Amino acid sequence: MKTLCFVLGLVAAVSAGNIVELATQLGAKTLVKLVTDAGLADTLATGGPFTVFGPTDEAFNKLPREILERLMRDKTLLADVLKYHVISGKVYSSQLSNELTAPSLLTDNGEAVKIRINIYGQKVTADGSPVVLVDQNATNGVIHVVNRVMFPIPLRNIPTEITQEQRRFSTLLTAVTKANLVKTLEGGPFTLFAPTNEAFAKVPAATLQKLLANVTALTDVLTYHVVSGTVFSAGLSDGEMPKTVEGKTVTVKIGSNGVMINDARVEEADLAVTNGVIHVIDTVLLPPAFNAGPGIY
Ligand SMILES: *[C@@H]1O[C@H](CO)[C@@H](O)[C@H](O)[C@H]1NC(C)=O
Ligand SMILES: *[C@@H]1O[C@H](CO)[C@@H](O)[C@H](O)[C@H]1NC(C)=O
């Protein structure tokens, strides 16, 4: 039924109105309601031109209930989240390029918080949210329909994010620090498969001790968890073998139990950071034929 409404909406979309009218025609009812609640309807109907990454009703329905309720209650937060879906000017999909960052209407201390656009083959994502329909023309702008609600990315880079989340990444932080990789991980953009403390705890204690004492081996293992570029989960495909910074490849498997990287399960995908993305994994990855010296593995 939802799909049908959506398709009917598309047919009606031929007669373009302003952004709010077009969003209504596209069937984005929740978006229009929230934009109205946040007091942004006038701006989006009469201002512009704007480019809007408009989430579907389904995208809002996928949000945890507490978050949706909080957005409905807190109008300032709601307006911030919605502004984060809007950039100034008309930007068509043909003008989007990989790793493009575009300033949104949301500002933090006077600075625009940027949306990051990534392109995987033909697939466009905005902050990891797949764009399911591009280039819908309104009189005062353009709408790209996304299937996930975007939240402003935390203004943290990879090392800061790991440091902030010691509860689950303290071993990883220790390892990264011992291998002198903090500076490297401030660069990028990188995709980091981040093993949790539980993942490191699965490595036999004596082995972990030796690994932490051998910087060469440790560097090999850690850089085997890093891929160049920002690869959100939407950009991963089954059977793909991305090359790691260490040099060897990891294998991506996408199946009924989610996304696997070699033998590690992705517990949480798409933790956006300023210089890439982190996917949290439950097992430490070891390069093929890895040998850290006598007595290790
Ligand atoms: C919207 O307008 C642009 C520029 O004129 C055009 O390239 C695009 O195809 C239009 N979109 C649709 C869905 O017709
Ligand atoms: C340290 O690790 C490297 C690379 O894995 C290995 O070749 C070397 O033998 C190890 N050194 C010691 C002292 O175990």
Instruction: Return d(Cα 238, Cα 251) in angstroms, integer.
Output: 8
pLDDT at 154: 66
| Ligand 2 atom at minimal distance to the Cα of residue 214 | 1
Q: Is 136 in the pocket of ligand 1 (CB under 6 A)?
A: yes
Sign of torsion, CA 73 77 79 81? negative
pLDDT at 69: 86
Tell me which ligand sits closest to the C-alpha of residue 295.
Answer: 2
Ligand 2 geometric centre to CA of 219 (Å): 11
For ligand 1, atom 5, which residue shows the shortest CA distance?
Answer: 137
Instruction: Return d(Cα 285, Cα 127) in angstroms, integer.
Output: 26
- What DSSP string describes 277-295? EEEEESS----TT---STT
Instruction: Return d(Cα 107, Cα 134) in angstroms, integer.
Output: 25
CB 156 within 8 A of CB 275: no
For 158-291, CATH number?
Answer: 2.30.180.10
Q: Per-residue confidence of the chain (297 residues) as pLDDT tens digits?
A: 444 444 444 544 445 799 999 999 999 999 999 999 999 999 999 999 999 999 999 999 988 887 888 888 889 989 999 999 999 999 999 999 888 889 999 988 788 888 989 988 888 999 889 999 999 999 999 999 999 999 886 668 999 999 999 899 999 999 999 999 999 999 999 999 999 999 999 998 888 888 999 999 999 999 999 999 999 888 899 999 999 999 999 999 999 889 999 999 999 988 888 899 999 999 999 998 776 555 454
**Which tokens is 134 given?**
């591009």
List the beta bridge partners of residue 102: 115
Q: Which of 272, 252, 284 is nearest to 126 (CA)?
A: 272
Ligand 2 geometric centre to CA of 214 (Å): 6
pLDDT at 8: 45
pLDDT at 4: 43
CATH domain 4-146 topology: FAS1 domain (2.30.180)
| Ligand 2 atom at minimal distance to the Cα of residue 291 | 5
Stated pTM of the model: 0.72
Tell me which ligand sits closest to the C-alpha of residue 145.
Answer: 1
Q: Longest C-alpha distance within the chain, in Å?
A: 72
Q: What angle do CA 115, 121, 126 make, to 5 degrees?
A: 15
Instruction: Return d(Cα 241, Cα 205) in angstroms, integer.
Output: 30
Mutate to test the pocket of ligand 1, among 135, 139, 142 (most ligand atoms within 8 A of CB): 135
Tell me which ligand sits closest to the C-alpha of residue 138.
Answer: 1
Tell me which ligand sits closest to the C-alpha of residue 94.
Answer: 1
190-195 and 276-281 strand pairing: parallel
Delimit the CATH 2.30.180.10 region(s) of the chain.
4-146, 158-291
Residue 263: partners with Cβ closer than 8 Å, 6 or more residues away:
283, 285
Instruction: Return d(Cα 173, Cα 261) in angstroms, integer.
Output: 20
Residue 231: partners with Cβ closer than 8 Å, 6 or more residues away:
118, 120, 191, 242, 277
Q: Is 58 in the pocket of ligand 1 (CB under 6 A)?
A: no
Spatial strand order in the sheet of 258-261: 226-228, 190-195, 276-281, 264-273, 258-261, 252-255
pLDDT at 2: 43
List the beta bridge partners of residue 34: none
Looking at this protein, which amino acid is placed at residue 110?
G
Instruction: Return d(Cα 270, Cα 250) in angstroms, integer.
Output: 18
CB 3 within 8 A of CB 125: no
Please report how the helices 75-83 and 29-37 are oriented relative to each other, as an axis angle in degrees rounded to 10: 120
pLDDT at 108: 81
Instruction: Return d(Cα 57, Cα 51) in angstroms, integer.
Output: 19
Instruction: Return d(Cα 92, Cα 105) in angstroms, integer.
Output: 17
Ligand 2 pocket at CB < 6 A: 214, 216-217, 220, 291-294
Residue 142: partners with Cβ closer than 8 Å, 6 or more residues away:
49, 50, 51, 52, 90, 91, 92, 135, 136
Mutate to test the pocket of ligand 2, among 219, 224, 291 (most ligand atoms within 8 A of CB): 291
CB 167 within 8 A of CB 193: no
